[in-house]
Amino acid sequence: MPFPFLFLLFLSVPVSVHSKLTLGYYQKTCPNFEKIIRETVTNKQINSPVTAAGTLRLFFHDCMVDGCDASVLISSNTFNKAEREADINHSLSGDAFDVIIHAKTNLELVCPGIVSCSDILAQATRDLVVMVGGPFYNVRLGRKDGMISKLENVEGNLPLVSDSVDQLIDMFAGKGFTTKELVALSGGHTIGFSHCKEFAGRLFNFSATAPTDPDIYPKFAEKLKVMCGNFQKDSDMSAFNDVMTPGKFDNMYYQNLPRGLGLLATDNALGKDPRTKPFVDMYAVNQTAFFNDFAHAMEKLSVHGVKTGRKGEVRRRCDLFNSIKT
């Protein structure tokens, strides 16, 4: 085979999108990027301690639907119902949206039109996880913001509290994640809270013979019933995912599961299924292993489905495309 042909063949092989992302992407174009993000999220977390958990969930919901492209931040308009309209996204944290908007505003003042909202969300999430005690992991930068955000793209791409372990494993595998990575990422539930409607079925109408899930520690179940007694009228009623150390990123989530202190049905199922239980048990006794695997899984998640070059844009405002999408 002639050398010129080999050379042309090599040139025709597409470069991995991931390789276009770098750690120092803004070093010359916006040298204070990291400092501005860090100061913005620090101020927000101090004033609103639920920001870290809310931002981690926002990031996950963004990346699982069409990749990490800030499409979840887009507001709907007359012509388009965006991802935020999906029922599962109605409970996304207002504080999380707010911290990204503030960071974007602060960056636009010094580096107008340079930093994408998707990079802001990825970096802010990492900084907030570290701030509440979680592991540091590298965030490669250079994402562009997606130019599509549609309500109908959400269904089937985010785990539901009613999902079986089979469904969870299949969903994550479809996006390139192993069962171990599924369990590690689920450890994000060590911070934050869930609305009562997401676990009320385990409390009030579990089955015909047992209204309350017998896997829930009885005293915990009774307290949850009191806390969520009016959940049908007050949709904001909620409980901490990790009742022991709700504001600290640690491995307590995994320790809680065999004790009957897991809040969501999916959490409880991970602690029982033979494919996931070994990882739950390992992380419960080895926080270092959890932190290492969580950091690795977050690095992998953060580059899932990213857009670069002409496949995206740098939005002027995080909640709006640069031109109206119909």
Catalytic amino acids? 61
Helix runs in 265-314, H state only: 265-270, 277-285, 287-302
Report, in this order, helix, strand and coil percent for the chain, each rounded to 5.
50, 5, 45
Which residues are CB-contacts of 58 (< 8 A; sequence separation ≥ 6)? 72, 92, 93, 96, 97, 100, 121, 125
53, 61 Cβ separation under 8 angstroms: no
Dihedral angle computed from the Cα positions of residues 17, 19, 21 and 25, in that order, rounded to the nearest 10 degrees: -140
The DSSP code sequence of 182-216 is HHHHHGGGGSSEEEGGGTHHHHH-S-SS-SS-TTS
Q: Which two tokens stand for residue 267?
A: 């959490």
> Rg of the chain's alpha carbons, rounded to an integer?
21
* Three-class SS state of 15: coil
161, 265 Cβ separation under 8 angstroms: yes
67, 301 Cβ separation under 8 angstroms: no
